[in-house]
Amino acid sequence: MKLSRRSFGYFSLLLILAALVAACVSSGPQKALNGLAEALKKNDSAAFVAGIDIKSFANNDIKNLTREEAPLGLLDSLGRSLGIGGMDELLGSIVDMEARVHSHFTRGVSTGELMAQCRQAETPNCPWVPESLNNAKVTEIGTDAAVAQVTTPARMTSWLALRKADGKWRVVGQAVMESTARQYATEKSAPAAPAAPGKAKPQPAPGEPKPQPAPEKSAPGQDTMAGDNQGVTKI
C-alpha cells in the first residue's frame, strides 16, 4: 500500500513537471509561432498579421533584397557613399513595402496559397507551414529577442527573427542565415517615417545686420499729435 502511494506521488510529480515544461514551451516566442501556425490552419489573416511586426518585417525584407541581389547591393553601397541613403531608403520612397507585405500576407493566408506554396517551396525563404512553425527550434537572445530555425516538409531551412514589445512577441523578419536573423531580432523597431520639414526662414550670413521689422502704420494724424506732444509737460 505504501509502495502504491509512493508510486502515485512520483507520478503526480512527473505530471506537474510535464505541465510546467509544457507551459514554458507554449509561452514566449514559441507561443507566438504557435499562434501563426493556428492562424494559417484557420485561414485567419487578421490573427496572422497581428503576430507580425509589419513595419520591421518590411524594412528587413528590403535589406534581404540588397543581400541577395548583387545589383541592388551595388546600388545600396553607392547610395550610402553618396550620402543619399541605402536601398532601404531609396526603395522605401518608391514602393510602399509595408503595404505590399501586408497585402501579401492577407491574401496568402486567407486563401491558403501561402501555406500551400511554402510546403513545396525549394528555396529557403518560405517558412510558413503550421507544423514547421510548431516544431521550430527557438533560441532566446536576452529577454526580448529570439531566433527560430524553421524546416519545411521540403527540407528547406530558414530563420525567423522575433522581438518582444509591449509584452507581446512578434516576428520582425526572416533570413536565410542565423547571423542575419539575430541582427534583425536585436535591432530596434523600425522608425516611423519622418514628418515633412516646414519651410525654414532664411538666416542672415555671419556679420550681416539682422533685418529690422517695419514700423507699424498709425492712424492719420496720430504721428503728428504724438510728435507735438513729445517733450511737452502737461499742466
> Chunked in runs of 10, what are the mean pLDDT values of the chain (235 residues)?
52 48 62 98 98 94 71 47 52 68 96 96 95 98 96 97 96 96 85 45 53 52 45 40
Nearest to 123 by CA among 182, 72, 174, 173: 174
Residue 144's pLDDT is 95
Count of beta carbons in the 10 Å neighbourhood of residue 23 = 10
SS3 state at 202 = coil
Three-state SS at 172 = strand
Q: Cα separation of 107 and 156, whole Å?
A: 23
Between CA 102 and CA 81, with CA 60 as vertex, the angle to 5 degrees is 130
CA atoms within 13 A on the CB side of 38: 10
- What does pTM read for this prediction? 0.64
